[in-house]
Structure 1
Amino acid sequence: MRSRWVVVWAFAGLGVATQVSWLAYAATTTAAAGHFGVSEQAVGWLANLFPLLFVVLAIPAGVALDRALRPTLAVGAVLIAVGAALRVTVDVYWAALVGQMLAAVAQPVLAGAITRVAAAYLRVKDRPLGIAIGAGATYLGMITAIGIGTAIPDDVPLVVAVGAGFSILTAVAGLVALKVAPGYDRVAAGSPLAVWRAPGVPVLAAVVFLGMGIFVALATWLEPLLAPAGIGADTSGLLLLLMLVAGVAGCVVVPPWAARRSAEPRALQLAGLVTALVCLLLGFLPKLTGFATSPLLGFALLSALPVALAMVERHDPERAGPITSLVWLTGNAGGLVVSLGVGLLLDTPALAFALLAVLGVGAAVLAARLQRHEDQVPGPGRHGELAGSGDAGVRE
């Protein structure tokens, strides 16, 4: 059977729409507070809903995806569209909050489906690229959201309308694409909690916890961390955009390369070490190194997530779905924890960047444990050992 790329691309569009919804007000926080007559903290909750609800809903969403993939994805697409329509048609704060909540409920469904869609619609050899496209779409969505807000900084209704129009169009495209039946059998995997203690899964989840934690902390606090060095908000915003653009490129290039060479753990190790080095340079020499190192950081750090997800799908396709849900859950939890920790160190930027560097080294050490496990399993079938059962249950 041939791969059904139309579904993957439609699904990636929904991934972009999710991030556009998440950051709909992020680039216009002050203007949005004045527009709605609320505090900036209240506007911040329009974004904070997403990681909070993700942690709560990741496992139930994973169960629903395993039991009914296409209907669950359709519900996610409808929630994105309805939330967007509500934000546009009712221009008050409570409608913005409810609209964001609907999109936030859809996020764990769409994020948790990255490996599931690849497994259901793509041939085995195409799956690393399909997973990379799905994960890279989340970063592309961040770029889109920040770009819309930066281009229209003072017109909140127009910013929301542009993002909402895109979300509705991608939701419709996703619903149409889901009429295509999966080409490959998927095995029902049971409860996601049952895979938590599978060999390698806790270590991989810990790597993603640290990696996503570092990224979310940088995305949240880069501007105030660089301000004491005389770097303005416009420059720090450009550095973040460079990081995201390079990250999208990394998502397309690194996971297929690592999969062809069975080098996923080494790619994760390298990402951790590069992240640590760049964080130290940003902490102590930001003006000299910012523009040179931020793309390198994005390329290495942001590509680590699709590398991890592709590794899961190749090692244990039968349980890749629930493992993916757990990995996303721990990653979002890492985002909350690390971001809160770095937020306490804003008065000492060098210490905050040093903390992020230590976490990067920690991720590299954990990835080395995954590599040692790989090296101890002889023969070409060793990639069936991360979570136990190889390619059982998947037919082409």
Structure 2
Amino acid sequence: MSETAPARRRTRPHRVRAARWPLLLAFASLVASTQVLWLSFAPVTTRAADTLGVSDGAIGDLAVVNPIVYVLLAIPAGRWADRRFGLALSTGAALTAAGALLRAVNPESYGWLLAGQVVLSVGQPLVLNATTKVASRWFPATERTRAIAVGAGAQFLGILVAATTAGPLMDAGGLPLLLGAYAALATGAALALVVALALVPPAFAADAGPSPSLSWLRHDRLLLKLAALLFVGVGLFNALATWLDPILEDLGMAGSGGTIIATTTVAGLVGTAVLPDLAARRDRRRTVLLTTTVLAVVVFPLVSVLPAVGLVAVALAVVGFFLLAGMPIALDWSELEAGPERAATATGFLLLAGNLGGAVLVLAVQAVVGNPYLALGAFALLALPGVAVASRLPARAGSHRDPEPSTSRDATP
């Protein structure tokens, strides 16, 4: 991180190991797997329902299990990870793999699929909440933003994998191949991470002691603002992925929604790889988050008057480039704010807000989705509170609290 960026909290340095990168890769693979398992049936809902002899709604319920369980367990899972990180993350890996394998045992039984979905959903918060904790324990300050971006970006990669592979796998071998392939992916990632955790000692923060109160979280204005931004940002992306196809169909661009959502997601992955590190090095996190919300307010109404599919794709790709990068930027800032000892709890809180936003904004847009102009206007209106919140963020990370010593906590590799 540049000299102008605020220093992170000082921790007794240890040896930073080169194996931190394979560990991060294993963790990112598991994060991506949680999203693949969550959305396994979304691209093949009707065919899966026919195979299982249930309604489309019953298949949709399998995906609903994950956000419901996450909302219930996000904070408890974060607190456990802050106290016993290795055990919590290993448990999350084991539950993710176990749930995926349960689904594959009897892939044509709805009961087995539901049981597996519940099990892997319990593991999901233990995995996702570890994103900032992995960065703060194994990576020096100069690499921490990049590590958080990799972990957070893996969520979007998993969504893209599910969207692009479920259909072909279903075509090639039905539910047995679909669920078997995804179980192999999750089990391989879980095993790789558990082995890496055993072989690569953390270089920095130790586990926190018992924390009987969450008052620090309730009274931290920065974390509350970041949570509000994720509520809006994740909500907008989920609503876009859910309703873009019918909106474009009403605008005379039928059949283009899936391709444009994939393009928007790829652009977001590029933004996730570029923007968080750039914002951290120049200490311009607020600038990027404010730009993101302003773009959403401007671009969504613009889509309603663009005359060609290509122009719509370009416009939404620009939004995606910034929108998806907002999550790792917010998580990186939360680790600076909460410190490594409470990073998992802070991450759980922010992702909880994002999950709630994903549900609320999808329902809000649904009310007007029959009119494409009203629907796109609703996107802009829902983004407006994000502009207000982002404009009230501190101009520089750390400026909301007393200055800390500038001593680096990097260790010699």
Structure 2 length as normaliser, TM-score? 0.88
Q: Counterpart in 2 of 1:166? A: 185
Secondary structure of residue in 2 paired with 1:314: helix
**Residue 363 of structure 2 is aligned to residue 349 of structure 1:** no
Alpha-carbon shift at residue 391 of structure 1 (Å): 7.7
* Letter in structure 2 aligned against 1:337: V
1:340-377 per-position Cα deviation (integer Å, ceiling 9, x unaligned): 111222212221211111222321221110045x4xxx
Alpha-carbon shift at residue 176 of structure 1 (Å): 0.8
Q: Counterpart in 1 of 2:348? A: 325
Contact 1:316-1:389 at 8 Å conserved across structures:
no
Identity %: 35
Alpha-carbon shift at residue 395 of structure 1 (Å): 4.8
Give the Cα–Cα distance (whole angstroms) in 2 for the partners of residues 128 and 292 of structure 1.
Answer: 28
Give the Cα–Cα distance (whole angstroms) in 1 for the partners of residues 307 and 122 of structure 2.
Answer: 38
**Residue 119 of structure 2 is aligned to residue 98 of structure 1:** no
Secondary structure of residue in 1 paired with 2:324: helix
Q: Counterpart in 2 of 1:62? A: 78
Secondary structure of residue in 2 paired with 1:165: helix
**Residue 168 of structure 2 is aligned to residue 151 of structure 1:** yes
Contact 1:145-1:163 at 8 Å conserved across structures:
no
Contact 2:170-2:177 at 8 Å conserved across structures:
no
Q: Counterpart in 1 of 2:150? A: 133
Secondary structure of residue in 1 paired with 2:203: coil
Equivalent of residue 250 in structure 2, options 202, 218, 228: 228
Equivalent of residue 89 in structure 1, options 78, 81, 105: 105
Structure 1 length as normaliser, TM-score? 0.92
Equivalent of residue 139 in structure 2, options 109, 122, 125: 122
* Letter in structure 2 aligned against 1:186: A
Give the Cα–Cα distance (whole angstroms) in 2 for the partners of residues 128 and 282 of structure 1.
Answer: 33
Q: Counterpart in 1 of 2:4? A: none
Contact 1:199-1:386 at 8 Å conserved across structures:
no
Secondary structure of residue in 1 paired with 2:283: coil
Equivalent of residue 112 in structure 1, options 129, 134, 156: 129
**Residue 284 of structure 2 is aligned to residue 267 of structure 1:** no
- Determine which structure has greater relative contact order: mean sequence separation of CA pairs < 8 Å that are 6+ residues apart, divided by chain length: 2
Give the Cα–Cα distance (whole angstroms) in 1 for the partners of residues 338 and 185 of structure 2.
Answer: 35
Equivalent of residue 56 in structure 2, options 28, 40, 44: 40
Number of aligned residues: 386
Contact 1:223-1:232 at 8 Å conserved across structures:
yes
Contact 2:97-2:190 at 8 Å conserved across structures:
yes
Alpha-carbon shift at residue 275 of structure 1 (Å): 2.0
* Letter in structure 2 aligned against 1:238: T
Gapped runs of 5+ residues in structure 1? Answer: 375-382
Secondary structure of residue in 1 paired with 2:370: coil
Gapped runs of 5+ residues in structure 2? Answer: 1-14
**Residue 298 of structure 2 is aligned to residue 282 of structure 1:** no
* Letter in structure 1 aligned against 2:257: S
Give the Cα–Cα distance (whole angstroms) in 2 for the partners of residues 346 and 38 of structure 1.
Answer: 27
Equivalent of residue 41 in structure 2, options 25, 32, 43: 25
Let me know the Cα RMSD of the aligned residues.
2.1
Q: From the two aligned structures, give the one with the greater helix fraction.
A: 1
